[in-house]
Amino acid sequence: MTFRLSFKNYRLPLQIPLHTTYGIWREREGLLVRTERADGVIGYGEIAPIEWFYTETLSEAEAALRALPVEFTEKDIAALPAKFGCVRFGLEQATAEPEPLIKALRLPMAASLPSGRNAIKVLAGKLNAGFLTFKLKVGVNAPEEELDILDELVGQLPNCATLRLDANGGWDRRIARKWLTRCANWPVEFVEQPILATDMNGLLGLAEDYPVKIALDESVTRIETACEWQERGWTGVFVIKPALAGSLSALAAWQRKTKADLVLSSAIETALGRAAIFRWALAGERTKRALGFGIGEVFGEKVLDGPIAGPLIDVHWYASVKPEELWNALP
């Protein structure tokens, strides 16, 4: 089957700027694609690179779209170099038939807490809303201060709740060891990226030395990288942002084959990209862990954010996102 492509750039201010290791992230830039199949069927997809996650750049993504033949096929998508995970995700979303939904699954969602003392305030509201998995960024303030806040936070958690700690690679090995020791006393589901993404030996060592699970996030963007970690003996958690990882069908095949322990997580994409991810997550057993998309309203507009995500996601979330509306809402 052949397709014709049109695309739009978007630049959307984030309602609450995100503090990252690489500075403050204030606006999300990306591309929406619209494809028209030879038989007239229209499809939509989203391409949302994050350069500091080692994806293609936005301009590389745009150049790859311009380089496609006027009438392109699935083969042209498959022929893109491995680096183009975001383009592959967006084009597959727009062109491939999604997997049928076999059973009415519901998936739990993790709620993100702000860093610092604010986390304790926000936690109460999230517990009332029914969330049971919480994610907290650490490595932002002084370790002693953060450890005290954690003690207090844990005191507020009901028995069945768990915490994910995300250091975004911000600790050195010494501080990481201090934290991982303390984690033995807390209901921690996993510690995400305790040290630098590139410190493979350090991460493998920490995973071996402490009972708490360690998750790779910045260390792993695409499936090929995850495979390299598996070859080196990694049996911990992989945080995968499907919008960056590439083809969803390839991701499913890899997960089935290797039984990789996955957490699916947001790349701050719009509701268009997220709808494809949720639909895919609901179509099969990809993960036994809560989804990492509980980040609230990102853009502050319903058409861009989709419905507010509660503690459980089901098919209604995905079904209420109308790709055409999103496409039309952007200039």
Active site positions, annotated: 137, 241
Q: Of 22 and 124, which CB lies nearer to Mg ion in the complex structure?
A: 22
Give the shortest CB-215-to-Mg ion separation in angstroms: 8
Among 56, 92, 166, 269, binds Mg ion (CB under 5 A): 166
State yes or no: residue 189 binds Mg ion (CB under 5 A).
Answer: no
CA distances to 11, 45, 89 from 32, rounded to whole Å, are 11, 6, 11
Which among 232, 278, 276, 239 has a CA at the least distance from the CA of 261?
239
Residues 6+ apart with CB under 8 A from 112: 134, 135, 136, 137, 294, 295, 296
Q: Which is nearer to Mg ion, 35 or 133 (CB)?
A: 133
In Å, how far are 64, 246, 276, 320 from 295, measured between CA atoms?
Answer: 30, 22, 17, 19
Beta-sheet pairing, 162-166 with 188-192: parallel
The residue number whose beta carbon is nearest to Mg ion equals 217
Count of residues touching Mg ion (by CB under 5 A):
3
Which of 225, 230, 289, 290 minimizes the C-alpha distance to 257? 230
Q: Which residues pair with 214 in a beta bridge?
A: 191
Measured N-to-C along each axis, helices 118-129 and 143-156 cross at an angle, to the nearest 10 degrees, of 30
- Long-range contacts from 56-63, C-beta under 8 angstroms, 24+ separation: 56/83, 56/84, 56/85, 56/86, 56/87, 58/9, 58/29, 58/30, 58/31, 60/84, 61/31, 61/86, 61/87, 62/7, 62/9, 62/31
Stretch that binds Mg ion, among 27-35, 122-130, 192-200, 219-227 (CB under 5 A): 192-200
**Which of 166, 269 has the CB closer to Mg ion?**
166
Q: 56 vs 166, which CB is nearer to Mg ion?
A: 166
Q: Is 192 in the site for Mg ion (CB under 5 A)?
A: yes
Residue whose structure tokens are 């990882």: 245
Site track for Mg ion across 204-223, x = CB under 5 A: -------------x------
**Closest separation in Å from C-beta 251 to Mg ion:** 18
Residues 82-121 that bind Mg ion (CB under 5 A): none
Pick the stretch among 24-32, 38-46, 105-113, 161-169 that binds Mg ion (CB under 5 A): 161-169
Q: Which is nearer to Mg ion, 166 or 189 (CB)?
A: 166
CB of 166 to Mg ion, least distance (A): 4
In the bound complex, what is the minimum distance in angstroms from residue 167's beta carbon to Mg ion? 8
Residues 217-256 vs Mg ion: string with x where CB under 5 A? x---------------------------------------
Whole-number minimum distance, CB 7 to Mg ion, in Å? Answer: 28
Residues that bind Mg ion (CB under 5 A): 166, 192, 217
